[in-house]
Structure 1
């Protein structure tokens, strides 16, 4: 005993030192080594059991449990049978005696350790493992503890880690499945007893102006009179302990539903009970009213009756009630996400849909005091997300099963979904609902493809809903109808998909519009055309206000057209061998804008934009017919005309590069034998002869002695070699044939340059000769 006490004090001291802020990392490593060595000893668990029983230090408790966890998961096979029995008997007793005093995370960890033993030994050596859990749930004082154990068992045994063999995993799952009917029955009883215990008869409120409509819809959705009556009752108020038990039970159900198959074990009674708790997420107003009435009734009973006073139960906080609603919706969604539905479960599935859509009706009901949007704003955000998830699962997984059922009014459901979608208080919520509509439209499209003979009947059933959806989605992306919300969208920050919030909003909306157009092309076109025509009239009306002196705008327009050269190239590759007339028209129209701009009278900014556009088309697009376009032939004539005034240096170089590329670069998607190299080589030689006419006249002449003549000669050399150097550099990375033609065309100029090199190299500014000669290598 003294040894255990001393060990406890030493461990507490080490733990305090380890977590102290002044302890160095080296010392922490030393302490960690000591603790690890202790944990590896076979008899260490006895000390740890004493520590768990005697210490109030959270660090010590957690360390002791980690020793047990390591022992069970890694060393269990080497532990003697007698010690295993002692551990299996002592830890549950410790949990039972101290669970109320232990911190929550310590209690959860101890439950996990006990479940780990069950994972190893149940049922052969730990036959009462699961029986003990069921007994804990059935005992009122230990119900919360039993629920924690049950959830942990579901997590650790149904979905075990990889350290178990496949056979053991299958055995555990089979054992758990055998317990499922009993477990679901217990959980149903726990939830029902709490609900019934706290349910009271509330005063019937006066009918609202929308009461008759609501009752009609309710009768359409829920065909069982007794169930409809239950749905109309106000929800009860729960005290904190009951709320905790319900939350634990719903968490257990949610995890169980994630792995058990759909079967008759999931009874209508259980589904109805879960649905009752789901109501708590959307009944805040009636819950508050009922709490006040309940409090008044208790006060009157305690003050004037000879009967013993009823205990006054305080209602839980709004947050706690929302939590129960969220947990209940999680249970429902776990059921809804299962695509494999047995035939005997079809009726239960219909019941789930009917009951949940009754909630949708309550959420979207509009009263004098609350609009649909304000009601959604009051609801917990997590609850709305869960409800949206349910709608998505219903449409994507189960609509095909439910649509033809006469007991489920699909058109009325779409009306509710429409209200739910277009009253969402957040952009994210709205986009999530648009995704649901996209799923529904995909479903309709596929259904029509598989049943073409019924196309008119299918579309006719949903036409009104689709028309309303199209109109409202279009309104949501137009500032005239939705300016306030559209201005809130971020159009600068990019997300992981390189989209802004504004772009994502538009994409989701237009995807829905496109899907509707596939189903209702005529109506969609007329709707879109009316909106586009109105906007187009406004746009075209701006023409009278345009002043034709915008050089900058003109240059930017050409630059914008240049930016599309890559898309034009792709378009050309698509239509080149099919129907290129439209492409020819686009290129011809663009080229017609260039000749008037190739002039010394045009501002240089605009001139350069025109030159860059021609370079892009000649280099990137490379259409076969480019040289035959009259506008391009005019540019050839302008550049080769010796009498025309020379353009600024940069523009001259760009134009010559473009015209050279027209003749040298191979045409895309054209066989080598059809490239017309001979004809193009002849044209290229003529082009260079025209460009080097003055330069070639220097052949056989000495440098002039007069300064004016010398400067003029040097200017001819620099201008000509600047153009030739650019052509050589531009073609250097191309194929052999292009470079051969270029070399043949430049051969005479190259020989002349080598001749002029010794005579002019010492003249100032004649470095271009050296650069050109070197570029020929």
Structure 2
């Protein structure tokens, strides 16, 4: 590149145009990048950049030159000669004044950022007029946009969360900015008021009735205004003003914010004032207001400020509910709901102490907003506000809100029923699911039911009465459906229009049934005896009808009938599922009378068992399985075993095929309860009957697996293993809380299966799927049944696993599970671990650790399992490494002299694994290693251990301090700082006198003088309490960053 300025500019423009040309190949772009990088090493290259920005018309060249100058300012400013610094400041400032308004936003933003970067280092000592210039720009209308951009950039760069300064500079900048804030807000207030003084249009819409006055519309003031929109240029200015204020709100003290600026911002939130394309401005204004409340800061004396903010919000709600509410932007509603939630959460209790405050007025406006908003998304936002209000309402104050709550209840019930809100509900999607596997309809209904349940907490009987009215209407129709069933042809006799109407009725029945199920806990509340007594007749009647409906659904199987409306079939499936789920929630009530319980149990079994199999839709069979599980947990469950249908079901259950694993697991959990759960006063005949059924069930479940041999086809083995072991693993895990007698019965039932799994493992260890299933199964056996398995059983199994792991050097596919098994063996009580510890350590250090070092990035789970295992060994079996010392009478924790220290090489080798983990980039591995070291120090005084002090302490300190400097694990900074402090406490004199000087000598890119300053600053604050030490450590790290930037050689970027 020619050093002549004009030639260099021409060459650069050519290169930049070529680089951004779509036809340029990637290889050529790489060559251009190398040429551009070489430019930065030319002598006085920053002067060329200055020439470029003043003489080019290419935006590419301008941005390249500005970016290069930015690196000079940030990294070499202190070493740049004074004339150039002055020239650059003047050039940047003059450009913004002369061309900033017409320049592309990214160009003027870059110019502003460079000017602020200079101020960050020079203001006020070497750039005293920086902020005064900025204030002058805000006062003159033609320059206000530039002034706002500079002000926002100043706020972001000087007061942002990630802004770093050298020691003491942050405090100076903060103090200076706070001094200017009153003047700044005066200027911003003037700008916002000028922008906001615009005509408005007429709004005459009539709101719906409020929840407290359902029969008449509230008297709210009507505003007569005329329509207008922002001028394009004023929209840009307004946007910049609001964004600037928004960032100032992140750090300015509340008592420095004048109420007038809040009022000015609220002027831009009134939707009725603007045309539809101004929604983005309203959203930005809402975001600006919310920024104040995100801070959750309420200093003394600020109550009046937040009270005034609340009344501005009320005015906004009035404006919205009297305006074009159907055109509200969903993002605006999101921001509005955030504002309301934050106000209620943080300030409701303060507002209630205000004489002028009326919660009913607030609820009335919120009610209108809730029922008027047309979109589901906006409706759900409003419900979030109601939820927060309910949570903040104290029981003693609920009575005065009761009428409003019941009004909301009526509105929500209408909202969720097709009979009253069909037009909106038909548009709600019930097919596509989100990341939580929920459809829009499910979210809509679930959220609505949660609010209804909150109303029921305050008015249970009234809520039950209101819901039962439409539910009974749907129930009556549901009972009559049998009359139109053609049993001979397995079909429904109804026209398409009639089936469509029927589908909506069934959906309402399902929704209302789900609502009643959600309320069931309220009527079982022992502390609300009066509610339980009064509701008993209603609940008994409800249960009777639920049983009738579920019995009808199981006997007729509506979902299997042929119909001309597929949607009707889906509705029958969902309703059947909800009826079973509702019975589950009312089981306690159903079975509380012993005589009635036996009759009801037989009925519920007849309702449930016939639909737990693969020929039934998943949703129905899954609900039935959960109902069976709930039955098996009841105190009256022994009566179930008296029923022949139950015994027959247990016999055939292993052979039933279910459509999903969840139904399988839930069904087997219920059977496990029936077979293994302890029952008081169980007769000998009953016990023998249970034992027989236990043997039959587990034999039926496992015989195909026990029939496998080491020579079987691998595909067949995989299919059998996949079908048996996950279910058996689930049963074992489900039994973890059962008493020892039950676990013994389970172990005896599956003992042969456990032994066979160990026998088969070596033959199929290379098959990742088979080996994983076996190891997961054995892992659960060890967690739950290790005591029953015994020392010999554990020893035999672990020895097999060890032999396979040593033989299969590349057994990374099952390594994490294997290491978890070893961990359980190590942690088991007693001395059985001694049989395995030496072999496990040898395997870990000779095979697993080297393998993971070469495959660490691919095997993070296995690396974490290894760290967890080694941590467990050190935590629980520390004495193993010091057994000779213990026999000699020494402490197993640490010795004070080097001569007394043993030389357990294995211990240092294990600790080296944790050190290596701290060098990994994976944050989870780093975090686990650091937490393990801290835990070992808390338990065994690891950092004080003489071996660690002399062989590892300085290495660990170096790694941790360097990690802070490199910011490679910035999310764990606080944990790292605490660990450094704990290591330093071993010997503060060593830390300050030996470690720190040695560490600083190893830091490159800083001068000896800077090293001396760093050392002196840290040592003069030789405090030993953690908060002070950590604070000075942070300053030490920040100062290193600063000195490195200042010491970078000329031309280095």
TM-score range, shorter chain: 0.5 to 0.7
Partner in structure 2 of residue 470 of structure 1 = 409
CA distance in 2, matches of 1:321, 1:262: 29
Q: Indicate whether 1:26 and 2:30 are aligned.
A: no
1:684–1:555 distance in 2 versus 1, CA, 3 Å: farther
CA distance in 2, matches of 1:113, 1:149: 10
User: What's the CA shift for 1:477?
Assistant: 0.7
**Do 2:333 and 2:381's aligned partners in 1 also have CA atoms closer than 8 Å?**
no
**Aligned partner of residue 384 in structure 2, secondary structure:** helix
CA distance in 1, matches of 2:411, 2:387: 14
Partner in structure 2 of residue 631 of structure 1 = 644
User: What's the CA shift for 1:249?
Assistant: 1.7
- Give the CA RMSD over aligned residues: 5.3
Q: Indicate whether 1:333 and 2:282 are aligned.
A: no
Q: Indicate whether 1:73 and 2:60 are aligned.
A: no
The correspondence for 1:433, drawn from 362, 365, 382, is 382
**Do 1:437 and 1:512's aligned partners in 2 also have CA atoms closer than 8 Å?**
yes
User: What's the CA shift for 1:421?
Assistant: 1.0
1:550–1:399 distance in 2 versus 1, CA, 3 Å: farther
1:431-510 correspondence runs (5 A)? 431-444=380-393, 447-448=394-395, 455=396, 458-510=397-449
User: What's the CA shift for 1:105?
Assistant: 1.5
**Do 1:195 and 1:236's aligned partners in 2 also have CA atoms closer than 8 Å?**
no
Instruction: State the TM-score, normalizing by the size of structure 2.
Output: 0.50
> Residues 222-270 of structure 1: CA distance to partner in whole angstroms, max 9, x if unpaired?
xxxxxxxxx877688754434433332222112211222211x322332
Structure 2 runs not aligned, ≥5 long: 208-215, 492-553, 561-572, 657-668, 697-722, 733-742, 753-1053
1:674–1:67 distance in 2 versus 1, CA, 3 Å: farther
**Aligned partner of residue 161 in structure 1, secondary structure:** coil
Partner in structure 2 of residue 539 of structure 1 = 478
User: What's the CA shift for 1:418?
Assistant: 0.8
User: What's the CA shift for 1:208?
Assistant: 10
The correspondence for 1:670, drawn from 665, 678, 689, is 678
User: What's the CA shift for 1:335?
Assistant: 2.8
Q: Indicate whether 1:245 and 2:237 are aligned.
A: yes
1:377–1:662 distance in 2 versus 1, CA, 3 Å: closer
User: What's the CA shift for 1:498?
Assistant: 1.0
User: What's the CA shift for 1:531?
Assistant: 2.2
CA distance in 1, matches of 2:361, 2:98: 55
Partner in structure 2 of residue 417 of structure 1 = 366
User: What's the CA shift for 1:581?
Assistant: 9.1
CA distance in 2, matches of 1:242, 1:252: 15
1:590–1:509 distance in 2 versus 1, CA, 3 Å: closer
1:283–1:556 distance in 2 versus 1, CA, 3 Å: same
User: What's the CA shift for 1:546?
Assistant: 5.3
Instruction: State the TM-score, normalizing by the size of structure 1.
Output: 0.66
Partner in structure 2 of residue 254 of structure 1 = 246
The correspondence for 2:272, drawn from 251, 275, 282, is 282
> Residues 255-300 of structure 1: CA distance to partner in whole angstroms, max 9, x if unpaired?
211222211x322332332233333x3224xxxxxxxxxxxxxxxx
**Aligned partner of residue 125 in structure 1, secondary structure:** coil
CA distance in 2, matches of 1:149, 1:329: 23
CA distance in 1, matches of 2:686, 2:232: 93
1:538-617 correspondence runs (5 A)? 538-545=477-484, 554=555, 588-589=602-603
Partner in structure 1 of residue 126 of structure 2 = 125
**Do 1:626 and 1:632's aligned partners in 2 also have CA atoms closer than 8 Å?**
no
User: What's the CA shift for 1:137?
Assistant: 1.4
Partner in structure 1 of residue 737 of structure 2 = none
**Do 1:431 and 1:505's aligned partners in 2 also have CA atoms closer than 8 Å?**
yes
CA distance in 2, matches of 1:378, 1:537: 40
1:155–1:65 distance in 2 versus 1, CA, 3 Å: same
Partner in structure 2 of residue 358 of structure 1 = 315
**Do 2:363 and 2:404's aligned partners in 1 also have CA atoms closer than 8 Å?**
yes
> Residues 676-707 of structure 1: CA distance to partner in whole angstroms, max 9, x if unpaired?
7996399859999xxxxxxxxxxxxxxxxxxx
User: What's the CA shift for 1:439?
Assistant: 1.0
Whose relative contact order is higher, 1 or 2, with alpha carbons under 8 Å and at least 6 apart?
2
1:125–1:628 distance in 2 versus 1, CA, 3 Å: same
**Aligned partner of residue 488 in structure 1, secondary structure:** coil
CA distance in 1, matches of 2:371, 2:415: 9
CA distance in 2, matches of 1:470, 1:206: 29
CA distance in 2, matches of 1:232, 1:663: 71
User: What's the CA shift for 1:526?
Assistant: 1.2
> Residues 627-671 of structure 1: CA distance to partner in whole angstroms, max 9, x if unpaired?
8515259969xx9xxxxxxx9xx89xxxxxxxxx99999943439
CA distance in 2, matches of 1:384, 1:595: 48
**Aligned partner of residue 97 in structure 2, secondary structure:** helix
**Do 2:202 and 2:224's aligned partners in 1 also have CA atoms closer than 8 Å?**
no
Partner in structure 2 of residue 349 of structure 1 = 306
Q: How many residues align?
A: 606
**Structure 1 stretch 249-258 or stretch 502-511: which is displaced more?**
249-258
Q: Indicate whether 1:6 and 2:19 are aligned.
A: no
The correspondence for 1:266, drawn from 247, 257, 262, is 257
1:592–1:549 distance in 2 versus 1, CA, 3 Å: farther
User: What's the CA shift for 1:138?
Assistant: 1.8
CA distance in 2, matches of 1:112, 1:431: 41
CA distance in 2, matches of 1:191, 1:547: 73
1:239–1:594 distance in 2 versus 1, CA, 3 Å: closer
Structure 1 runs not aligned, ≥5 long: 220-230, 285-317, 366-371, 449-454, 598-603, 640-646, 652-660, 689-725, 745-777
1:540–1:391 distance in 2 versus 1, CA, 3 Å: same
User: What's the CA shift for 1:412?
Assistant: 1.7
**Aligned partner of residue 377 in structure 1, secondary structure:** helix
1:585–1:72 distance in 2 versus 1, CA, 3 Å: farther
1:529–1:185 distance in 2 versus 1, CA, 3 Å: same
**Do 2:203 and 2:225's aligned partners in 1 also have CA atoms closer than 8 Å?**
no
**Do 2:195 and 2:234's aligned partners in 1 also have CA atoms closer than 8 Å?**
yes
CA distance in 2, matches of 1:379, 1:189: 28
> Residues 531-588 of structure 1: CA distance to partner in whole angstroms, max 9, x if unpaired?
2222222222334555777999759699999999x999x999999xx99999876654
Partner in structure 1 of residue 457 of structure 2 = 518
1:593–1:173 distance in 2 versus 1, CA, 3 Å: closer
**Do 2:632 and 2:674's aligned partners in 1 also have CA atoms closer than 8 Å?**
no
